[in-house]
Structure 1
Amino acid sequence: MKLLKNAALKALISGALFTVASTPLIASESPITPAQKETAQQLMVTALKSELGFSIVESLTTEIGPRLGGSEAEKRARDWGAKLGKELGFDKVAIEEFTMPFWDRGHLHIALTSPYNQELYGSALGGAAPSDKEINAPIVYFRDIHALTAIKDGSLEGKVAFVDGEPMVKSQTGAGYSPSNQKRRIGWQHAERGGASALVIRSVGSDSHRFPHTGMMSKNGDKWANIPVIAISNPDADHLRRLHNLNKPLAISLHSGSDWKGEVTSGNVVLDIIGSEKPEEIILIGGHLDSWDLGTGAVDDGAGVAITTAAAKLIANLPKRPKRTIRVVMFGAEEVGLLGAFAYAKKHEANLHNHVLATESDFGARNIWRLVSNVNPEATKLVDEIAKIIAPLGIVRGGSDVKGGGPDIIPLDNKGVPTIRLSQEGTDYFDLHHTPDDTLDKINPDELAQNVAAYAATIYLFADTNVDLKAKR
């Protein structure tokens, strides 16, 4: 939104932040020097005026399109990422490959056949099995996932289970996702235990469009589903509920071609800006390069790739490199199980002690509103000071013991790598997440620029500080 961007620029340019001369900081009073503070402020001004972030996500979504993990399109995206890194002048560019099982969506037809014929809008869920032939069966209605988990073994033979539930609760933090997502994660295990021919669930999303949300299911041990599992749009789920409440006999026909296609190659794209004094210490930022195949993966997660790459490039443009290495990782195969994240942690296991900070942008492209952290006490004081510098962007200081850093950071966090997170506004994120509606037009360039400004200032200050960032939590 222009007003937000212009207001932030006005505050910065007018000197609201540039208080170095009038209120000089003594080095012992702050972990940030006056020169570092001024550089961070200048980075924010530059980022708010820059169109680099938007041009990167526009290029990715337009030139490459949907990028399902393990697909030929994801391979083209890796090549695109490496080429971009070289064009932007990163000091080191690498593609780190790994192998993975490839699931392909195939075709899908799903329709209501009783009490009348009506096409439904559905999407196969990741890991679902195909139907050997057209399934025509009565529907057994379950009000929520808890009702399905209570069924007796074999009680759904010859039937299709439908799990309803409520549309996701909208939340700034996305807190409604996990409870709503249980039916997608584990529903198939109970439907299969009951002998159902297929499982249909209410789409895991907060929108009211006839755009079903896809997503990956969870394995049961090392096993995936042996039945088709389909998410239908919220309006279609509402329709089935109303018919059920009228005691109408419900039946469905469906045919799904989704299936596993064997082992393929995926990979992570790694871009480095080498530090000037402590090159062995790594500040890792990034996003995931793959996307679901229904849209073009603009908000999930082309935006994250663009934000972090653009922020790193703006830092690289400074007259002097910061002390520590800044590493941008475009993670592969995130949507299908954080496969790139685990591959990165395994490949770099011997050097994780030198990964002194990690964070990921993977929650859309709306404004950042909060900074949280999970670092050592000395670094926590640094975070507090950084929060003051980025506050004019509309960002508040959040908790200092918040684990995470982003989905792809989980394997690093589990190994003790310190993390921060710049939390984005997520109230409408799950209107678009994993749907055909995840397209470039949903990104506001000014809001994206605010993200780049926050990342550029924050990551520069971490990379250039004398504070010991190594884990001692």
Structure 2
Amino acid sequence: MVELPDEVVGDAQTSHFAWNRLEELVDVGNRMAGQAGEAQGAEVIRDAFADAGLDGVRIDEFEIPGWWRGSSSLTVGAPVERVHEGSHQVIALPGSPSGETTGRVVDVGAGTYEEFEAKADKLEGAIAMASSETPEHADRWLHRMEKYVNAADHGAAAFVFRNHIEGALPPTGEVGYHNRPGPIPAVGVSKEVGARLERYAEEGECEATVVTECRNEETTSRNVEAVVGPSDADDEVLVTAHVDAHDIADGANDNGAGSVLTAEVGRLLTSVADDLDSRVRLVTFGSEEIGLWGAYHCAETTDLDQVKCVINLDGACSSRNLRVGTNEFDALGELFESVAADFDAPLSTGDTISPHGDQWAFVQEGVPSTMTATTSNQSGRGWGHTHADTLDKLDSRDLRDVATLVTEAVYRAAQDSFSVEHRSRAETRDAIDEGYIQELKMGGRWPYDDLEE
């Protein structure tokens, strides 16, 4: 049985509030972490929070390692000469240092640990090229950062990350994380450029030169916060998303949609604020794409004992079909399953404890948290992390449906009748899959060294 009043559900299904704000947000353009567009995007969300009638609206600034893109190129010298320098063909990956490297191209396929080992004797001084694909036989998604670090650790002088989706342009994505800048230049190339390099490498020696021009220096990022519900509540439910996006795209689905959904959930809850037992805090984070900096800042400046749960929205408008990662907090899975059943809405869930997404900053500390997204027929990220993550890929009806379901879930989570147990940090550490332990340690992101001393 749906618990929100009919008038709130009707409002959610007919409102243009979130979509209009999404148009504003994507029209900002570049919302790269720590740059002017991210600050402008934060102001769009601040104004949305204020217009939604939320309390305590504020912007919270913090320092991050910034990165600015210059020009990049990949020039093939042999077996034929070919210059790739347009941004539809090659782009630097955030966290890359500036540099110029010439070497033979060594294709390591999907960039699995086994493939790197198989080519270990060829990688010293080479340009390592790995696909963005994760093989079907893999037991988890392989992050680009792992492939980048593996390339550097095997002595490669540069890294090429090739898209595995045709026509989807070069992929971007952070490689430095909390160790900026990374050790070797890194670029993304389209599937088509990658296929050409793969063919050349298979036929014999393929020599290329990778050039990256970029700037790494300290800058300021920001979170935006607001609240709805009882100010004197003993606990709070966090509804979160990230407002930053990669500089090459509008970041419509990743994650403009999540940011405006956060504001819309808050707006809808203002009608039932007196019915909430827990306070609901709405937060849009800065700097997710470069290492979850905003989420970590929030987690470090919040009394986590008072956080009942976190519902994080990321990539939640590719369809109206929710997918919820529960991080082994069964009660949260059951919460969303009950909502989906009452609305006769499709839902898929996963319980793997995943270090990808802003919820990880809270999960690692044992705070019950979800990654809430949507599923579609797209392969991999689809248009995400490319120039093509634009508004025309999305549908306002999907945004309204997702807003309805998430608001119902948050409303239920903010009742005393809903409970979910925190875990200790040690319990969380012990529950993480071996593959993700490997990834976190590979990228210098393992948070439990203090438990192992």
TM-score by length of 1: 0.78
Matched to 2:220, the amino acid is T
Distance in 1, matches of 2:186 and 2:408, equals 44
CA drift of 1:127 comes to 1.4
Matched to 2:265, the amino acid is A
TM-score by length of 2: 0.81
The answer (yes or no) to whether the contact 1:94–1:271 under 8 Å persists in 2 is yes
For 1:272, the equivalent position in structure 2 comes to: 227
Matched to 1:328, the amino acid is L
For 1:446, the equivalent position in structure 2 comes to: 397
More relative contact order in 1 or in 2 (CA 8 Å, sep 6+)?
Answer: 1
Matched to 1:256, the amino acid is T
Distance in 1, matches of 2:107 and 2:332, equals 53
How has the CA–CA distance of structure 1 residues 167 and 190 changed in structure 2, closer, same or farther, with 3 Å as cutoff? closer
Q: Deviations over 1:47-89 (max 9, x none)?
A: 1222222111111111x22211111221222222222222221
Distance in 2, matches of 1:332 and 1:223, equals 17
Asked if residue 201 in structure 1 is aligned to residue 161 in structure 2, the reply is yes
The answer (yes or no) to whether the contact 1:376–1:469 under 8 Å persists in 2 is no
Matched to 1:265, the amino acid is T
Bigger CA radius of gyration:
1
SS at match of 1:106: strand
Range with bigger deviation, 374-383 or 188-197: 374-383
The answer (yes or no) to whether the contact 1:374–1:419 under 8 Å persists in 2 is yes
Asked if residue 156 in structure 1 is aligned to residue 116 in structure 2, the reply is no
Asked if residue 139 in structure 1 is aligned to residue 97 in structure 2, the reply is no
Partner of residue 47 from structure 1, selected from 2, 8, 12: 12
Distance in 2, matches of 1:252 and 1:375, equals 46
The answer (yes or no) to whether the contact 1:364–1:426 under 8 Å persists in 2 is no
Distance in 2, matches of 1:112 and 1:382, equals 54
For 1:294, the equivalent position in structure 2 comes to: 248
SS at match of 2:188: strand
How has the CA–CA distance of structure 1 residues 462 and 216 changed in structure 2, closer, same or farther, with 3 Å as cutoff? same
Distance in 1, matches of 2:52 and 2:148, equals 45
For 1:228, the equivalent position in structure 2 comes to: 185
How has the CA–CA distance of structure 1 residues 375 and 108 changed in structure 2, closer, same or farther, with 3 Å as cutoff? closer
Distance in 1, matches of 2:102 and 2:370, equals 50
CA drift of 1:456 comes to 1.6
Asked if residue 59 in structure 1 is aligned to residue 19 in structure 2, the reply is no
Matches within 5 A, 1:107-256: 107-120=71-84, 121-131=89-99, 134-145=100-111, 146-150=114-118, 156-157=124-125, 160-165=126-131, 167-168=133-134, 178-179=141-142, 181=143, 184-203=144-163, 206-209=164-167, 211-218=169-176, 222=179, 224-245=181-202, 247-256=203-212
For 2:406, the equivalent position in structure 1 comes to: 455
The answer (yes or no) to whether the contact 2:235–2:306 under 8 Å persists in 1 is yes
Distance in 2, matches of 1:272 and 1:177, equals 36
How has the CA–CA distance of structure 1 residues 41 and 371 changed in structure 2, closer, same or farther, with 3 Å as cutoff? farther
CA drift of 1:198 comes to 2.0
CA drift of 1:113 comes to 2.9
Matched to 2:159, the amino acid is L
Structure 2 unaligned spans of 5+: 424-453
Distance in 2, matches of 1:373 and 1:192, equals 33
The answer (yes or no) to whether the contact 2:130–2:147 under 8 Å persists in 1 is no
Distance in 1, matches of 2:132 and 2:56, equals 48
Q: Deviations over 1:322-362 (max 9, x none)?
A: 232111110110000001111100011xx211111211110
Distance in 2, matches of 1:382 and 1:147, equals 41
Range with bigger deviation, 445-454 or 321-330: 321-330
For 1:412, the equivalent position in structure 2 comes to: 362
Distance in 2, matches of 1:196 and 1:384, equals 47
Matched to 1:270, the amino acid is E
Range with bigger deviation, 421-430 or 452-461: 421-430
Partner of residue 88 from structure 1, selected from 43, 46, 52: 52
SS at match of 1:408: coil
CA drift of 1:317 comes to 3.0
Partner of residue 101 from structure 1, selected from 61, 65, 70: 65
Matched to 1:236, the amino acid is V
The answer (yes or no) to whether the contact 1:153–1:193 under 8 Å persists in 2 is no
The answer (yes or no) to whether the contact 1:154–1:193 under 8 Å persists in 2 is no
Range with bigger deviation, 318-327 or 50-59: 318-327
Matched to 1:199, the amino acid is F
The answer (yes or no) to whether the contact 1:295–1:435 under 8 Å persists in 2 is yes
Partner of residue 341 from structure 2, selected from 364, 379, 388: 388
The answer (yes or no) to whether the contact 2:316–2:402 under 8 Å persists in 1 is no
Matches within 5 A, 1:336-347: 336-347=290-301
How has the CA–CA distance of structure 1 residues 334 and 46 changed in structure 2, closer, same or farther, with 3 Å as cutoff? same
Structure 1 unaligned spans of 5+: 1-16, 18-36
Asked if residue 355 in structure 1 is aligned to residue 307 in structure 2, the reply is yes
CA drift of 1:320 comes to 4.0
